[in-house]
Amino acid sequence: MNSPQPQKPWLTEFVLLAAIWGSSFLFMRLGAVEFGALPTAGVRVAIASLFLLPLLLWRGLGPQLARHWRKVFFIGLLNSAVPFACFSFALLSISTGLSAILNATAPLFGALVAWVWLKDRPHGLRILGLVIGFVGVALLAWDKASFKPNASGVATGWAVLACLLACLCYGISASYTKRHLNGLPALVTATGSQLGATLGLALPTLWLWPQRMPGTTAWLALLAVGVLCTGVAYILFFRLIENVGPARSLTVTFVVPVFAMLYGAIFLNEAVSLWMLSCGVIIVCGTALSANLLKLRR
């Protein structure tokens, strides 16, 4: 008899990646309260750059980055600088769980942008998925978004729009990468994008730097989101792509809100409503259909 083969470790890495990315919303919230939105994003990408650049040089990929730096740096603005700033801004007024649910629409926007830009037209269930996904977003925004200041003087509608803008940027950057950077090693794209985002956010970060030096908790939160949630997470994500392919790796986005809501409830005492969970399920189902992910199992 043949001895049973050991189980592939991809499922463990999948859950670990979801847990790490779920914590990024908590860490960004802790950092943004003291740093502000733009400095939080700027420090995050700077730390990630310092973490990833030595790995890139160690792998001997510096020349490839030098050849493609313009396009890769531009991706950094779309895929990191703007989205990280948007989520840091949003987390000042809405919960980590709600932000993570809205973040799960990234593949939805990716499919829509690919349809418009790359002429990758969806058919059948994928079109239905786009409709279902956007209905879920509309229902969630209708309940949570208001452009009138609440008792705390906050208009949550701008935060919801910021999250959706971030996801739209993710969708545009995915199509841009497919069109202009196809075949480039993932570590080159990751490192170069963080360097580009760091340069793009440098002046706003310095200009809006808080007058009072943030405390230890805020610094540790940004160190965690830079090294763990950006640097280490990228490495895990690339390993998943190599082991199970990009389509199945993309489904990690659907598990992230579970951890984000759990962390928010435990560490920030955030409430999770039944309506928010229901809309989240609708968004996830629609996104899965639009990305053609429900046909993965045979």
> Could you report the per-residue pLDDT of 205-215, keeping only the tens digit for each?
999 999 999 99
Domain-located, residue 75: yes
Domain-located, residue 171: yes
Domain of 177? 15-290
Domain-located, residue 117: yes
pLDDT tens readout for residues 232-255: 887 888 777 667 765 566 677 778
A 10 A CB-CB count for 207 gives 9
| Predicted local confidence at residue 296, as pLDDT | 44
**How many domains does the chain fold into?**
1
As a 3-state breakdown, the chain gives helix, strand, coil percent values, each rounded to 5, of: 75, 0, 25
Domain-located, residue 63: yes
Domain-located, residue 145: yes
Domain-located, residue 224: yes
More confident residue, 104 or 193: 193
> 3-class DSSP state for residue 213?
coil
- Whether the predicted model's global pTM rises above the 0.75 cut: yes
Taking the C-alpha atoms of residue 119 and residue 137, their distance in angstroms, rounded to an integer, is 24
Domain-located, residue 4: no
- Res. 298 pLDDT band, cuts 50 70 90: very low
